[in-house]
Homo-oligomer: A and B are copies of this chain.
Amino acid sequence: MDQPSYSAANVASSSECTRDQLPSMFLHRQQSIENRNLLFNQSFHQLQQHDNQLSQSTEALHVGYEDIDQKPDLAKISKESVIQPADSNTPKQQFVPCKVCGDRASGFHYGVTSCEGCKGFFRRSIQKQIEYRCLRDGKCMVIRLNRNRCQYCRFKKCLAVGMSRDSVRYGRVPKRSKSVDDPFGGSSDLYPDDSAAESRHLALYDIILNISQAHHAHCAVTEDKIKLLQRKHSTLMQRISIPSSQVNFTDEQLETQKLSMWSCLAHSITPAVNRVVEFAKRVPS
């Protein structure tokens, strides 16, 4: 696939993305999850396109996880890697998500409610005229935890949500354009939810993370193993194809073979089933 590139108003030099830009979460469940949450409306369309790409690149996500009997406990996960945008000293402060990455927004930057990170990233991008490149298909998901893995897609998202030098709003925000739901006075059509939406938003990330971790911990389908399987399969087929023409089994033999094969299959598939069960047990209910 050709690699999309950006030459915005000011773009010239090239910068290399790190090759580990895979979004480390979101599997097939993401759609239903997204549907439930209004906060992600803006990117719903984009997410739908991601589904393909994500499911086929799943194996790359398992780097470092195979053969490790990792037992992530939920308490630790929620402590360590769940977003904690709300500082403990300002419980009163409302959470407003960045339109680019979903982190806590710090204000209305370049025309978009965004976080300090995305603001700085966008500023740097338009200042230094950097041309980013996506090493994949240019559809990387941009969320807080992986926003730094693909600069191209982050910048693309910035533009998509409307960041621009021209959208800069100077000075004080007019009083009446402020609202409870959008303290930064951006366009008022996006977040019709009350404050409960914020907690749902956070909970969502929590769930996403949990599922991702559970998957990592128990999915044994790695690239290596797939290749190995393919090799095994082809050699097996070769071996079988030759004698198959000259061999005649009796019905009894066939029956016996069927039984033995079934037993063999059952034996082989048991671990996989166990893994699925383990995975299911990890999904928060």
- State the A residues within 8 Å of B (CB): 20, 24-25, 63-68, 70, 76, 79-81, 87, 89, 111, 117, 125-127, 129, 131-133, 145-146, 148, 152, 155-156, 159-160, 162, 164-168, 170-171, 176, 187, 209, 212, 223-224
B155 and A80 contacting across the interface, CB-CB below 8 Å: no
Q: List the number of copies, as a whole number.
A: 2
Q: List 14 A-B contacts (CB under 8 A).
A: A24-B166, A64-B125, A64-B129, A66-B131, A67-B133, A68-B155, A68-B156, A79-B187, A80-B111, A81-B111, A81-B167, A87-B176, A131-B224, A145-B166
B165 and A20 contacting across the interface, CB-CB below 8 Å: yes
CB neighbours (8 Å) of A168 from chain B are 148
A64 and B167 contacting across the interface, CB-CB below 8 Å: no
Closest 7 pairs between A and B when the two form their complex, measured CB to CB: A64-B126, A63-B129, A145-B166, A63-B126, A81-B167, A64-B125, A81-B166
Give A88's nearest chain B residue, CB to CB: B176
Complex Cα distance, B25 from A171, in Å, reads 22
Give A162's nearest chain B residue, CB to CB: B80
B187 and A70 contacting across the interface, CB-CB below 8 Å: no
Sample of 20 further A-B pairs with CB below 8 A, known A25-B166, A80-B111? A20-B126, A20-B165, A24-B165, A24-B166, A63-B127, A63-B129, A64-B129, A64-B155, A65-B159, A67-B133, A67-B152, A68-B156, A70-B159, A80-B167, A87-B176, A89-B176, A117-B170, A146-B165, A146-B166, A148-B170
A68 and B159 contacting across the interface, CB-CB below 8 Å: yes
CB neighbours (8 Å) of A111 from chain B are 80-81
B20, B166, B224: which contacts A209 (Cβ < 8 A)? B166
CB neighbours (8 Å) of A160 from chain B are 70
Give A186's nearest chain B residue, CB to CB: B80
